[in-house]
Amino acid sequence: FHQFCNEQDIPKSACMPASVFLLSAFVAWASTKNIIAKTIGAWLTSIHGWHTLHGTPWNGGNDFVSLIKSSAFKTATGSPHPKCHLVTIEHLLALQSHLNFKDSFDIAVFAVALCAFWGCCHLSKLTISSCNSFDPHLHVSKSTPISFKDHLGGASSAQFHIPWGKMERQEGTDLIFTARETLCLVKALCAHLTANKATPDNAPLFAFCTANGSWAPMVKQWFLDRCREIWILLNCDHGHSHSFRPEGATELLLAGVPPEMVVKLGRWKSLAFLIYWRKLEDLIPSMISKSYSPSHLVNLQAAFESFCIAHKLPDKIIL
């Protein structure tokens, strides 16, 4: 807002309280800058808060401003972000085939990839942003207890606690993983803990041993660079840090896991979970393996419809 006012030579005295016409002009200006509607709305909320903080009247609720907002939001639909390529089963199989499982770093990379995918979680819960950014109050450490269990029917699982979550805050959340025949996270996690057992207890959980006898944390960019190195080599679309979560959830749904269970696993609010998905006809071609039969797709759609009914949500949200 200040940038706009400076560009237009608006005196500071006219910025607060901002007039109806100044706010309308700001919204119109923002809509021409390829700014998405959600961001423009957030900016207006911030300006409103700025006015409230200083005890000055707010003119953003004026009918004229609302009219300009409505018009601008219809045109400000562009996104500055490139299209997201999701990480699929094929991407994970490529990692499994081309990572060096005699290398401690690659072993850790594979464990992180499967954790992010099958756990439907963000990489920020499993990796850190830089070598010196580890915080035991925010990130899971090696000293965190990991519970490996065998269940009735032959199933086995692994579980550990994340100390901080976006929704849970300082209460954190538990990540629970079930063993599988292929691309088994439990096996990958055990392999990582064995290969990198020399890392200290106060290190991040997915820290790895280095060639010089020391260790290093799993930095998110290092992880992504290693994955992309393989995916580019094999002409796979390379995803980003948010690409693991939606595809992992889709695979669980296609495998018959009830939507309510996937919601809990991915720590979504019910409505946010539905909005997170695109229409099924757009989702299915790019996200499912050829091994799924048409009956899987019918069951998936029926499960979504039942979920909408149970939570009193309109089908049009996702279908």
Yes or no: say if 119 and 111 are a contact pair by the CB < 8 Å rule: no
Q: Which residue in this structure is represented by tokens 């889709």?
A: 250
Angle value at C-alpha 271, between 39 and 294, nearest 5 degrees: 115
At 136-147, the pLDDT tens digits run 888 899 999 999
The answer on 186 and 139 residing in a single domain is: yes
Cβ atoms of residues 218 and 204 within 8 Å: yes
Are residue 275 and residue 173 in the same domain, yes or no? no
Gap between the Cα atoms of 301 and 319, Å rounded: 8
CA distance 133 to 131: 6
Domains contained in the chain, number: 3
Q: At CA 270, angle to CA 241 and CA 124, rounded to 5?
A: 20
CATH code for position 236: 1.10.443
Domain boundary residue, one of 51, 75, 99: 75
Domain boundary among 75, 101, 131: 75
Rounded distance between C-alpha atoms, residue 135 and residue 271, angstroms: 31
- Look at residue 81 and tell me if it is in a domain: no
Residues 209 and 263 in one domain: no
Nearest alpha-carbon partner for 4 in 18, 69, 61: 18
Which of 13, 47, 75 is the C-terminal boundary of a domain?
Answer: 75
H or E segment to which residue 227 belongs:
helix 220-233
The predicted structure's pLDDT at residue 267: 65
Output phi, psi for 88, to 5 deg. Answer: -110, 180
CA angle, 236 as apex, 232 and 241 as ends, to 5°? Answer: 85
d(CA 53, CA 45) in angstroms, rounded, equals 12
Q: Does 95 lie in the same domain as 57?
A: no
Q: Is residue 82 part of a domain?
A: no
The confidence score (pLDDT) of residue 29 equals 85
In this predicted structure, what is the pLDDT of residue 282?
A: 45
Instruction: Give the dihedral of Cα atoms 224, 226, 227, 229; nearest 10 deg.
Output: 120
Residue 253's identity, in one-letter code, is L
Check whether residue 31 and residue 100 sit in a common domain: no
Q: Does any domain span residue 83?
A: no
Residue 311 placed within a domain: yes
Range of the domain at 269: 245-317
145 and 283 share a domain? no
Question: Do 140 and 236 share a structural domain?
Answer: yes
* Mean pLDDT score, 177-194: 91
Asked whether residue 200 is domain-assigned, the answer is: yes
Amino acid of residue 167: M
Q: Are 43 and 60 in contact (CB under 8 A)?
A: no
Q: Is the pLDDT higher at 42 or at 277?
A: 42
**Percentage above 90 pLDDT, the chain:** 33
CB 244 within 8 A of CB 174: no
Q: Are residues 128 and 220 in the same domain?
A: yes
Residues 92-118: pLDDT tens digits? 999 999 999 999 999 999 999 999 888
Domain match, 250 and 192 both: no
**180 residue type, one letter:** R
Average pLDDT over residues 1-27: 89
Whether residue 59 is found in the same domain as residue 171: no
